[in-house]
Chain A
Amino acid sequence: MKEKEVPQDNEGLLEGKLREVCYAVDDNGNYVTVLSTGWTPKNAALKQAWADVNDKIEETKQNVLTGKLSPLAYYMEKNIMNLKLLSQYAGIPKWKVKRHLKPGVFQKLADETLGKYAQALDITIDELKTFM
């Protein structure tokens, strides 16, 4: 890649927080570093990954609204977590987390347990309980 060809396809994915170091050759064939704000193909790949995450969140949201899953399932997806990861962050065994995804079981949870989830998911207990 030539120094002048280093792409600057800024699509806001870096949020202006940084530019990335790229290695490219100058006119004399020497390697130099150039800062880049983004590149279309990689932007597309990153957006695709988020679209997939968002599809899963939306699907789970519908399942919560129709009473098939508890709000915990929604916030789990929103944090890109699965049962195992949520179990590790909350310090609650996986089989219990799985049960807590059922609306009926979730409603009976003590505040102490809800607190553990809220902390793991970066929300308040009220947010966790009053979904929508």
Chain B
Amino acid sequence: MTEKNKDIIIDFKHHQAAHCENGAASNLLKHHNIHLSEPMVFGIGSGLFFSYMPFIKLNYLPVISFRPLPGMIFKRITRRLGIKITRERFNDQAKSMERLDESLRNGIPTGCLVGVYHLTYFPAPYRFHFNAHNIIVYGRQNGSYLISDPIMETPVSLTKEELMRVRFAKGTYPPKGRLYYIEGVPDSYNLKEAIIKGIHNTCKDMLEIPVPLFGVKGIRYLSKRMKRWPKRLGKKKASLYLGQVVRMLEEIGTGGAGFRFIYAAFLQEASKVLNRDELMQASREMTEAGDRWREFAVISGRIIKDRAGSEESYESASNILLEIADREEKIFKFLKKLPLN
């Protein structure tokens, strides 16, 4: 065995998370002795969002998202804590693996952006062509790479070929071998200030984007369009559209109700750090909004199962969304005005 191919095992602790990007960030930070929970990472990274872009289609279905663009949470949390990171992309597959090996030899657990379609340890029903999954590579043993996948309960492994394949998945947002790692952390950081910045950023995202596709306006827009789905699209297509909303809302990674419960957990933790009871109140209201999202999913689930799907059910699903928009608008207007410091 040559020096280059020697086994490497970095002492890296795997913690399961709801969402891959929060989890990757939280686990990498913990490795550098910054112990922040998943909700804390999510809140400081301003992970809560809503967007509905019916004119952009993915697999013939409109794009709906409950989070900002992939990579944003990691970018924001590291910036707000003053953490230096390195991010690289590659055209050459072999080079990207050499670079990863080099990083591992230096004892650095390294984040990789991957596609899930060829991710062999993933449950098959969840393997679609989705290219924004985050994993941490923390070593190499007997020719296999040791992987901490934040959504898995325990660490897993991939062969070199398997890892290379998922790092160079094709399609929408191809990862292009993207890797990232923490270069260094400051001696101290201002957690309170980071939390406040995170909250204010989310208020802005949810209330102030001057296009009706985003934030609470986006929820209202979806509600309005949804009412017309059965007539405009026919029952089968309408039902597929609704299924898409439920998948985005609940599929692996949202922690339930399109991240609303994770965000409520963040507000709860934030209320303790900042010593503000008002944030606890906001947390409770966010939980209620999340519960309404779950009710929306229950109604939608019934429509999906009954392939005929009556028009009246779309009406009630759409009405819940309007109510949710009002609730979330109230929460974020309250948070925006709350003098935090």
Partners in one complex: yes
Chain B contributes a number of interface residues (CB within 8 A of A) equal to 53
Q: Does any Cβ of A come within 8 Å of B158's Cβ?
A: no
Interface hit among B79-87, B139-147, B185-193, B295-303: B295-303
Whether B129 and A41, one on each chain, are in contact in the complex, defined by CB atoms closer than 8 angstroms, is no
Which of these, B16, B17, B246, B287, contacts A42 with CB under 8 Å? B246
Chain B residues touching A, majority SS = helix
Interface check B173, CB cutoff 8 A: no
Residue A22 CB within 8 A of the other chain:
yes
Residue of A nearest to B293 (CB): A1
Q: Determine if A24 and B261 form an interchain contact, defined as CB atoms under 8 angstroms apart.
A: yes
Report the minimum CB–CB distance from A123 to chain B (whole Å): 14
* Interface flags, A64-96, vs B, CB<8A=1, else 0: 000000000000000011001100110000000
For residue A31, CB closer than 8 A to chain B, the reply is yes
Contact partner, B294, options A1, A13, A46, A84, Cβ 8 Å: A1
Least Cβ–Cβ distance between A85 and chain B, in angstroms: 5
> Is B268 touching A15 in the complex (CB atoms < 8 A)?
no
Identify A85's interface contact among B125, B129, B249, B301, CB under 8 A: B129
> When each residue 121-134 of chain B gets 1 if its CB lies under 8 Å from chain A and 0 otherwise, what string results?
11111101100000
B125 and A46: CB pair below 8 A?
yes
Residues on B lying within 8 angstroms of A by beta carbon are: 16-18, 38-39, 59, 117, 121-126, 128-129, 151-153, 170-171, 174, 239-240, 243-244, 246-247, 249-252, 255-257, 261-262, 264-265, 268-269, 283-284, 287, 290-291, 294, 297-298, 300-302, 304-305
Q: Which residues of A are at the interface with B, using a C-beta cutoff of 8 A?
A: 1, 6, 13-15, 17-25, 29-31, 33, 35, 39-42, 44-46, 48-50, 52, 80-81, 84-85, 88-89
